[in-house]
Structure 1
Amino acid sequence: MTGERDEIAVVGAGLAGCLLACFLARRGHQVALYERRPDPRSGAPERGRSINLALSERGLDALRRIGLAEQVMADALPMRGRMIHPVAGAPGFQSYSVSGGRAINSISRGALNNALLEAAAKLPGVRIAFEHRLVGLDPATATMTFETPGGTVTAGARVVLGTDGAGSAVRGQLLAHGLVTESVDFLDYGYKELTIPPLGGDFALDPGALHIWPRGTSMMIALPNPDRSFTCTLFWPTHGTASFASLGSAAAIERHFAQHYPDLPPIAPNLVDDYQHNPVGVLGTVRCDPWQVDGRVALLGDAAHAIVPFYGQGANCAFEDVVELDRCLDECAGDWSAALPLFQRRRQDNAEAIARMALANFVEMRDKVASPVFRTRKRVEHALERALPGRYVSQYELVSFSTVPYAQVRRRVRQQYQVVGLAAAGLAAVVGAAVALGLRRRG
């Protein structure tokens, strides 16, 4: 235990935890990376758990800093826009960027986790302990208790960093000690995953787009995978007549999809089996305060601020947390007691900003993307971007294709809308005056 006291403990070897271990080892720290699961490199993913994610500029920026971006992007599938699938008629494409050249990237979640885990394992000073489930934490001494296949063990550390997801055991321990408060706002929606397999050895849909089936109060999306399949995710209400609870029998499932998603059954032969056997996941926003205690225990990523997935920014935001913590350690000369509070001050407003934008984007994706008004607004927005390059930039581009802080994005977009609104009002006034003058002259 004496040697352990010199380690930085990272609890949770998911995406954020593995990336954080790499950054800390690069700084010369001894790192202990604890994970409750067995080694994910030696097993198959759980059924119904997302196998891909959308990686954009914030996540790529973090990967570049440890030299992994090129490796990860080798298997990436760039998605340059949304493909909207109506109930009737042909799908329509909506570009994400004004140039049409920028893309978010569909990445295998498991492959990315494994790449980060391998990178961490190769670094000097990193040790990884799988099948270690945190069941106790003394925040005053940073002493942890784990359940393992061999029994209960204890371990100490200089600092404990919780990167163990929305259901964080580290956050749970801090709550039990009365050191943090939390709120969890669940949506009245859940999610279930389906699969579209390759068709004739190729993609059944255009792999260069994120596919959306907007249906007003519900929707489905599909992202391409490197094996030429698509992972579909249903986002439906959890209760009511058009919800997960309302469909039971195979016949009812087939009728519902034939009516509301008619282009799916012909390309999803396992639709009924997937629907009946894949679990329904919950969707919610986690907030807590503070994110750290006495410069000794802290939370990062979803453990501190889980968000709903509708902006594709969960992993990107968590990666940005790691970059910011690294920056704070630089500015504080490695003093954790100063760096951790600074990290929270720098990131908390940004986490709240993306949480709100993600909730708003859910409404946009399920209700608005198919409407003529929305399409017109996007055309106007792209026209403004072409007319005012660098001065007018859409919210989507700022979030997905830049590292402008999320809170700053929200402020900038509000200012842009105000300017555009004033300009539109001024133009309307000029046009109105011209029309009135013309009428008077004719009169």
Structure 2
Amino acid sequence: MEKSEGRQSRKKVVAVVGGGLVGALNACFFAKRGFNVHVFESREDIRKAKIVKGRSINLALSHRGRQALKHVGMEDKIISKGIPMHARMIHSLSGKQSPIPYGRKGQYILSVDRANLNKELLSDAETYPNTTLNFEHKLQDWSADTGLMTFSRSDGSKDQIHADLIVGCDGAFSATRKQFLRRSRFNYSQTYIPHGYMELTMPPVNGEFAMKPNYLHIWPRNTFMMIALPNLDKTFTCTLFMPFEDFEKITTGDEVIQFFQSYFPDMIPLIGVEALKKDYFRLPAQAMVSVKCSPYHIGDKCVLMGDAAHAVVPFYGQGMNAGFEDCIVFDELMEQFNEDFRAVLPEYTRVRVPDDHAIADLAMYNYVEMRAHVNSKWFLFRKHVDNVLHFFLPKTIIPLYTMVTFTRIPYHHAVERWHWQNKVINYGLLLSAVGAVLGGSYLLTKHSQQVNKLAVPAEKMWTRLVSFRIPGMMTTQM
């Protein structure tokens, strides 16, 4: 089906600031509705760049993101360029590998390359005749009253545009959001966690993956961890998450190898001694920030989406998925309110802020789970209990990870339900334990009584034996 400009009567101008993942996808959503869409990106066109600058942590695409891609006809194309991961593969210090499935059979998350996904989305946005992509345009200022925007270009010149709607998708350090900070009653918080990340590459072995490819591999070491995601070129992108102070203790190549021998000995032959030394010092450990703010809109003129509204740490694999869900939630509200920005924008803030704050908190929690809890027998037991209950009561008990990753249950509803389920399950386990103790005590008591009944005749018989007298003999005193 050939793409059209949608509702041709609509000629409002939508300016999307940021040509990253969420910005490019948003361009597709707005273009599909028939708006005149202008995308402004401060960097060069990554489709033409020799070196792609920016973050490169592999992404885990799941249900929420896939639904947004499906809405603009991109799901199948992206899936074909990703690698399914059906479970976590836990690597112990001894080298033992233990899988923990993500969900039911057939459920998986998809390892996708950030740069390739961004290129595909930009190319798709460009196929709409009502979309214009502007690269090397940096936002300087904009007016919430008039919609006038000023951009500086790489050659020093400036461009101006009037927009009916400004959509800020320009990342955690958003230039669009700066205008929000100048206004009263805007809440904003920014938190850097004390851990950084560093990426290493595990090359193929004889042209094939060095490890099983359909897993998200994790080396949990309590206060830090390593993960590895598969790539289409048969490499693994390995990411070490660790406190900055621990990164700073390692200053030489020999110390790198000593560190890996102590905590990740199975990785040394797979990456290679020299490659480890080189990769470790290629770039310093990078910081991770969590951003929360509210509201997400100003009047009917501007709205924030993606990391500009809610940057999250990467430990739940939901940063991109939450950003993509922003797009589809906004589009659903556009449909509900007949594209009336005055109604759509405040409703978007009301609906989305609790969800995005919830996933930000969950991402923080999941880091502890990934690096430490997966080593706990209690965690594994509870995981098994949750899965068994979900199998028999699929609509009543749903594991948190399943709600977050394989449904579109609003994030904050998933958290509320998770807390309720935990109370119910823990209470049930407690009652079961108390019941088992009481039942065991009853059986022991009953058994003791039976033993005592048998013991009484035996005691009487012994008494008779020792008191038995043969005529003419002396009685033995005992």
Which TM-score tier does this pair reach, normalised by the shorter chain?
A: over 0.9
Deviations 1:368-406 (A, max 9, x none): 112222222222222222222332111111111111111
Q: Superposed, which structure 2 residues align to 1:75-154 within 5 Å?
A: 75-97=81-103, 99-150=104-155, 151-154=157-160
Query: In 1, Cα distance between the equivalents of 2:218 and 2:264?
Result: 11
Matched-pair contact (CA < 8 Å) for 1:48–1:278: no
Query: In 2, Cα distance between the equivalents of 1:290 and 1:386?
Result: 39
2:255 aligns to what? 252
Q: Deviation at 1:415?
A: 1.6
Q: Superposed, which structure 2 residues align to 1:285-364 within 5 Å?
A: 285-364=290-369
Query: In 2, Cα distance between the equivalents of 1:36 and 1:177?
Result: 25
| 1:66 has 2:69 as partner | no
5+ long unaligned stretches in structure 2: 1-10, 450-478
Q: Deviation at 1:437?
A: 2.7
Q: More deviation in 224-233 or 279-288? A: 279-288
Structure 1: which amino acid aligns with 2:199? E
Q: Deviation at 1:332?
A: 1.5
| 1:418 has 2:420 as partner | no
Larger-Rg structure: 2
Within the candidate set 212, 220, 223, 1:214 is matched to: 220
Q: Deviation at 1:251?
A: 1.4
Query: In 1, Cα distance between the equivalents of 2:268 and 2:435?
Result: 53
Matched-pair contact (CA < 8 Å) for 1:191–1:234: yes
Matched-pair contact (CA < 8 Å) for 2:14–2:164: yes
Query: In 1, Cα distance between the equivalents of 2:414 and 2:232?
Result: 32
Deviations 1:403-437 (A, max 9, x none): 11111111111121122122223323332332333
Q: Structure 1 pair 89/264, CA: closer, same or farther in 2 (3 Å)?
A: closer
Q: Superposed, which structure 2 residues align to 1:377-388 within 5 Å?
A: 377-388=382-393
2:470 aligns to what? none
Q: Deviation at 1:133?
A: 0.9
| 1:226 has 2:232 as partner | yes
Matched-pair contact (CA < 8 Å) for 1:45–1:110: no
Q: Deviation at 1:299?
A: 0.5
Q: Superposed, which structure 2 residues align to 1:176-195 within 5 Å?
A: 176=182, 180-195=186-201
Q: More deviation in 428-437 or 332-341? A: 428-437
Structure 1: which amino acid aligns with 2:79? M
Query: In 1, Cα distance between the equivalents of 2:105 and 2:180?
Result: 46
Query: In 2, Cα distance between the equivalents of 1:47 and 1:87?
Result: 35
Q: Deviation at 1:177?
A: 5.2
Within the candidate set 193, 208, 223, 1:202 is matched to: 208
Deviations 1:189-224 (A, max 9, x none): 111111111111110111110011111111111100
Q: Deviation at 1:312?
A: 0.2
Q: Deviation at 1:79?
A: 0.4
* Superposition CA RMSD, Å: 1.7
Q: More deviation in 340-349 or 87-96? A: 87-96
Matched-pair contact (CA < 8 Å) for 2:200–2:237: yes
Task: Provide the secondary structure at the position in 2 that maps to 1:172.
Answer: helix
| 1:276 has 2:281 as partner | yes
Query: In 1, Cα distance between the equivalents of 2:54 and 2:241?
Result: 13
Q: Structure 1 pair 125/20, CA: closer, same or farther in 2 (3 Å)?
A: same
Equivalent residue pairs, number: 435
Deviations 1:222-250 (A, max 9, x none): 100111111111111012xxx11111111
Structure 1: which amino acid aligns with 2:59? L
Deviations 1:17-40 (A, max 9, x none): 111111101111000000001001
Query: In 1, Cα distance between the equivalents of 2:278 and 2:335?
Result: 52
Query: In 2, Cα distance between the equivalents of 1:21 and 1:251?
Result: 49
Structure 2: which amino acid aligns with 1:229? T
Query: In 1, Cα distance between the equivalents of 2:54 and 2:297?
Result: 33
**TM-score, with length taken from structure 2:** 0.88
Matched-pair contact (CA < 8 Å) for 1:189–1:236: yes
1:434 aligns to what? 439
